Amino acid sequence: RTLVPLEGSYEVNCLTDFLDECEEQLQALKKLKKSERGLLYGVPISLKDVYDCMGHDSTCGLAQFLEKPAAKDGVIVKVLKAQGAIPFVKTNISQTLFDCSNPIYGQTLNPQNLKKTSGGSSGGEGALLAKGGSILGMGTDTGGSIRIPASFCGACGIRVTGYRLSMSASFHPLCTVVTVAGPLAWDVESLALCLRALLSEHMHRLDPTVPFLPFREEVYSSNRPLRIGYYESDGFTQPSPSMARAVKLTSRLLRDAGHQVGLLGPWEGDQISENAGLVHSWRGRLHLSFKGDIVDPSMKNTVTSLRLPNSLKRFLAWIWNDLCQSHLSRLPLFLQEYQQEFIAKWRSLDLDVLLSPALDPAFYVGYPAKVQGDSFYLGLYNLLNFPAGVVPVTTVTPQDEKELAFYRGYYRDHVDKSFQEAVRGSVGLPVAVQCIALPWEEELCLRFMKEVETLVKSKMEPK
């Protein structure tokens, strides 16, 4: 694949800024001795709007941050430049949901179907990669914000364990769920190369709160058979036909390649369903950051519901068992206990990695706000703080589209109906699977992703 001119990105509206200093950086790099070049020498890299670049705004889609340029580069930007990468553009972001729209830069579209969203909140990165305008980009992930756009746009992406990469000088909300950095790229090897470069002593020196854990090459390059568990549904949102087919296809390829693969039941789906209000309540804290700012149309209904008069909120809280207050107060303890239960179950099954559906195909513009809970296929691993990545494995077929007509969902409510409407009309769009590992096992997660990518590619190549 080759890069295309940036002019091609205008159609999908994925850029927020051009980093014109990249020209000077490129000339300076050319003067370096070979021994001084970093792992990313000469690689152009795009950055989600949230990353601080000296002299440029980091708006996060909020008008209150306009015309407030960063005084210096953020830690990750400094490390990337020291490794020879050339940041050249900043990309669009959503106001917390995954429709990638904000009142400053507008709506980002999916290059493969302009009626569909690119996903979010790192939607500008996904669209630019799909358009061929970048080969490597940096996003952030609070509830699937790297994996959703990667999945919708046919790219690879990974969210790392919280605090393994620095988030210093990058906007991230103060909430229980940790926002993490992570790369998006055309292939898994590019993700691995990026993490090799970032997981350096240099990053630890710049941000001592990040542990110095260099990339473990021996784990990534291992070829030992893996013990893989997989599930086809979280028991909360019925997967689309293409989501279910992607997991079945991938599990079969892995089994045929000699890995131990076992089907699991819904992964704690009943417990998640019972606590759905609890585990999603952290979003409320994030939405409060809109106070005094312009609210994007994609967010209006959600934010309005959070701005109800206190008297009405108290009445609704009484109806909902005081969900908005007591649940928030016990959320940290719940997450800690649930993480330990999840790990204990993982250990009891003697798993190396876990395979699950991603969230796809791409939704029609405007639909993410109607089906927020459906992102829990990905958001679960933000709550658990596990490394998780997505790899495209297939595309939506006409048969998938026919089967979608019979989709009813588990609850047969307006959310299930909205999900069916959101994913229809997607023949030819990419479908991914999600690969998960235990905390601090990014190299194993990438190794699993690489195995999936290799097997899928070999299946697609003519014999």
Output the furthest CA–CA distance in the chain (Å, rounded): 68
Contact predicate 232/264, CB 8 Å: no
Q: 276 pLDDT band (50/70/90 cuts)?
A: very low
Catalytic, 48? Answer: yes
For the stretch 68-72, contacts whose Cβ atoms lie closer than 8 Å and that sit 24 or more positions apart, written own/partner, are 70/169, 72/169
Calculate mean pLDDT across residues 348-353. Answer: 96
Q: Residue 391's pLDDT is what?
A: 98
CA distance 382 to 286: 15
Domain regions of the chain by residue span: 6-460
Q: Say what the pLDDT of residue 396 is.
A: 98
Per-residue model confidence (pLDDT) at position 285: 46
Which two tokens mark 180? 């993490």
Question: Which of the residues 58, 94, 121, 200 is marked catalytic?
Answer: 121
Query: Is a pLDDT exceeding 60 seen at residue 50?
Result: yes
Q: Give the tens place of pLDDT for each residue, 55-88.
A: 999 998 888 899 999 999 999 999 999 999 999 9
List 46, 48, 58, 151, catalytic entry:
48
For residue range 303-344, list pLDDT tens digits in order: 555 445 555 445 545 444 554 455 556 667 778 888 999 999
Distance CA(110)–CA(455), nearest Å, equals: 27
136, pLDDT greater than 60: yes
pLDDT > 70: what percent of the chain? 81
User: Helix 188-198 and helix 75-82: axis angle, to 10°?
Assistant: 100
* CATH no. of 6-460: 3.90.1300.10
- Across the range 186-193, mean pLDDT stands at 98
N- to C-terminal Cα separation, the chain: 22
Q: What is the pLDDT of residues 119-134, one digit of tens each?
A: 999 999 999 999 999 9
pLDDT at position 269 over 70: no
**Taking the model in full, what pTM does it have?**
0.89
To the nearest whole percent, how much of the chain has pLDDT over 90? 71
Assign 35 to helix, strand or coil: helix
Q: Is the pLDDT of residue 350 over 50?
A: yes
Distance between CA atoms of residues 232 and 21, nearest Å:
47
Catalytic residue among 145, 166, 242, 375: 145
On the question of pLDDT at 208 being above 60, the answer is yes
> What average pLDDT does the segment 225-233 reach?
96
State the chain's mean pLDDT as an integer: 87
pLDDT over 90 at 8, yes or no: no
The answer to whether residue 288 scores a pLDDT higher than 50 is no
145 is catalytic: yes
Place of tokens 């407030």: 68
122 annotated active-site: no
